[in-house]
Amino acid sequence: METGMIQQVAKQLQLAPRAVETVLTLLGDGNTVPFIARYRKEQTNGLDEVQIREIAKHWQAVQQLEKRREQVSRLIAEQGLLTEALIKKLTEAQRLQEIEDLYLPFQQKRQTKATAAIALGLEPFAKQLMSRNYTYSQLTQSAEKYCCEELPTTKEVFDQTQFIIAQWLSERVSIRQRLRHLFWQTGQLTAKKKAKAEDEKATFQMYYEYHMSIRSVPNHQLLALNRGEKLGVLTVKVMIDQQLVEERIGKSLLTKFDSSLHTYLTNCFQDAYKRLLFPSLEREIRQELNQRAQTKAIEVFSKNIHQLLLQPPLKGRTILGLDPAYRTGCKLAVINERGDVLAIDVIYPHKPQNQRAQAAKKISELIQKYDVSLVAIGNGTASRESEEFIAQTVQEAQVEVPYLIVSEAGASVYSASPEAIAEFPELQVEQRSAVSIARRVLDPLAELIKIDPQSLGVGQYQHDLPVGQLQEELNAVVETAVNRVGVELNTASAQLLAAVSGLNMNVAKQILLYRQEHGSFHNRTQLKKVPRLGAKTFEQAAGFLRIQTGDTPFDQTPIHPESYELAHTILQKLGFSVADLGSIELQSAIQKLNMTEFSQEVQANDVVIQDILAAFSAPNRDPRDEYPQPLLRHDVLSLADLQIGMQLQGTVRNIVDFGAFVDIGVKIDGLIHKSQFGKRIQHPLEIVEINDIVTVEIITIDSKRQTIGLRYLTT
């Protein structure tokens, strides 16, 4: 690998070049990011997944820059125009835009006004004019030589030559750089409502007369402007003071030219600016603004999805899932602590049937028969009425069964998918949806992994974002979440297995087939018998796959099989056996260790030893347990119950650039605007995350617009 490029990446990320080179070598050898972060810490100095992915991303960008540099050098050389000065400038360029600016004059151009003028033989005259050695009168005499049938007068010669000079000016690197800087310093992004455009819900009302400094446009507003423009509601433009452009840049071109040429050259610059420079830089600036906003939106969306996937499971419960509806009835599904379906039913407590008594009886029977400990209610149509119905039914039955409102985003999409049909061929779409709602509480990660992340209802404008870039980021988020938690090999779905380090959907399906044919896995080593699962795949995946009921206790832990021999040695040195994993006695012995002396004694890297000891202390540790538990409810609030100044607890459901939406137990989520967090912040993610339980104060209630304003008090 090129040392200079490695040092460049290391400098950009403020990391040691050796660590960057090690990561790139490991990635090049086919190792996954989770595997490197978890099982090669001793080689990378403990770099985490985010840092490893940043190294890979920056390395790709550096390679692309280098590739374009070489390509541009070759293309210019083929024209015989690659000078030493140009080579130096290309070599020193650190941004792709700099290289493109340098290449612009040498690009093969389609038919333009300038190329037409050149075809008339006017290029020598243009060079003479720009040499700064002539007056307008002298040039007029020279122009007579170019008069012909197509150019009958010297005025025609000057007019056509103007197009050549305008193109040269538009391609001059110094002009583009100065003008670019001026745009970013003084430019405005403006928007207006199109005269005959329809905006029934006034979605884009705040942008009907919009102007904002280019440097200050909030990312979420830019994405809104883009959507309004795409829908034909808004006209969006970049604006800049043309007089300022001429004073700052245009007039500087006139120096060293005879004053008799000033008017002509000013016209040339104005033509270059209006026809070539402004449209080009407007596109460039819009593109850069869009890329910046999209990158930030993807970052926020990814963080939201990460927190959503890692919300803590409510283990060991029998759950009644309720998919609410009016006419077609509320679909019910009871699942046990393993996620198995115990019962499927339907009730009609709402209009038009209004069979409330029969529905209440059915709910009570299901709760008693299956010892239901929680009701999970989807937040879709009729959710509010279903919540009131469940709260009243449970209260009248005098049983202590709380309920929980669950986002059903994406449930209907998955329930109609081939994967869902294969899992529950005997159930209808709505019934599968009720099962999904219940399972989202029992094990959110295992259930949500089946759904397209873009359909999970968090983030903003995710459907307007670049599909490829978004999918790449989401794949990384899913991969991180799944491998951080670990996967039970004998119960995991194909979707969950496919997200494990080193695996893909084809191998995941082979694992399921092996399970069906041979029964449960008894140890990780059996994975080697699965078709298409080779040695490298086993190495990458084994540590993230768990077997809770196997014949090898280490298979319950995140200890990698490659370290089993070392793990046994450590246990022996401590005076314990595998039967003592997780015991208080073993934990106490570990706490008393002198790590420096112990690592020397067992002759192993202390980072590896520490990870093994952590697994000894908590072999079945679930990192999701560190997050706040879901907020369970017994009663119902309505908008009419709320008052200004009331303090409530709620759950953060979504985070966007301008604030956080919080479920406080009414039908609509309240908004904590980023100005209401008690201190100045750049983004709500500095304070809260998805599924945080927060205490808030109500500061505004708008019944007509169905909005609630909140002030953040504490987590």
pTM of the model: 0.84
* Residue ranges per structural domain of the chain: 3-106, 113-296, 319-442, 514-626, 639-714
Residue 86 class from Cβ within 10 Å (0-12 exposed, 13-18 middle, 19+ buried)? middle
Q: Which two tokens stand for residue 399?
A: 């049983």
CATH superfamily of 639-714: Nucleic acid-binding proteins (2.40.50.140)
Q: Is the pLDDT of residue 609 over 80?
A: yes
Q: Which two tokens stand for residue 9?
A: 């990446």
For the stretch 463-522, pLDDT in tens is 788 888 888 888 899 999 999 999 999 999 999 999 999 999 999 999 999 999 999 999
Q: Could you write out the DSSP letters of every residue in 462-501? A: GGGS-HHHHHHHHHHHHHHHHHHH-EETTT--HHHHHTST
Distance CA 61, CA 96 (A): 9
Handedness of CA 338, 344, 349, 351 (dihedral sign): positive
pLDDT band of 82, cuts 50, 70, 90 = very high
Q: What is the reported pLDDT for 610? A: 94
For the stretch 533-578, pLDDT in tens is 999 999 999 999 999 989 999 999 999 999 999 999 999 999 999 9
Distance CA 72, CA 173 (A): 15
CATH number for the region 514-626 comes to 1.10.150.310
Handedness of CA 676, 677, 679, 680 (dihedral sign): negative
Give the count of beta carbons closer than 10 Å to the beta carbon of residue 579.
Answer: 10
The distance from CA 487 to its chain's CA centroid, rounded to whole angstroms, is 23
3-class DSSP assignment, residue 651: strand
Position of tokens 């770099």? Answer: 47
Give the count of beta carbons closer than 10 Å to the beta carbon of residue 43.
Answer: 17
Q: Are 477 and 302 in contact (CB under 8 A)?
A: yes
Position of tokens 């006695």? Answer: 585
The pairs formed by 97-101 with CB atoms below 8 angstroms and a separation of 24 or more are 97/284, 99/65, 99/68, 99/69, 99/72, 101/173, 101/176, 101/177
Q: Are 145 and 211 in contact (CB under 8 A)?
A: no
Distance CA 72, CA 136 (A): 37
Query: What's the mean per-residue pLDDT of the chain?
Result: 93
Q: What is the reported pLDDT for 1? A: 61
Q: Are 311 and 429 in contact (CB under 8 A)?
A: no
3-class DSSP assignment, residue 189: strand
Strand-pair category, 670-673 with 659-663? antiparallel
Q: What is the reported pLDDT for 591? A: 93
- Ranking 153-162, 634-643, 705-714 by mean pLDDT, the lowest is 634-643
pLDDT band of 611, cuts 50, 70, 90 = very high
For the stretch 379-412, pLDDT in tens is 888 998 999 999 999 999 888 899 998 988 888 8
Q: What is the reported pLDDT for 636? A: 74
Q: Which two tokens stand for residue 357?
A: 């008594």
Q: What is the DSSP letter of 261?
A: G
For the stretch 276-301, pLDDT in tens is 999 999 999 999 999 999 999 998 88
For the stretch 340-353, pLDDT in tens is 999 999 999 999 99
Q: Which two tokens stand for residue 379?
A: 């937040």
* Domain covering 113-296: architecture: Orthogonal Bundle (1.10)
* Fold topology of 3-106: Arc Repressor Mutant, subunit A (1.10.10)
Q: Is the pLDDT of residue 50 over 80?
A: yes
Q: Are 652 and 679 in contact (CB under 8 A)?
A: no
Q: What is the reported pLDDT for 377? A: 94
Distance CA 509, CA 418 (A): 14
3-class DSSP assignment, residue 76: helix
Stated as kind and residue range, the H or E segment containing 147 is none
Tell which CATH classification among 1.10.240.10, 3.40.50.170, 3.40.718.10, 3.30.420.140 matches the domain 319-442.
3.30.420.140
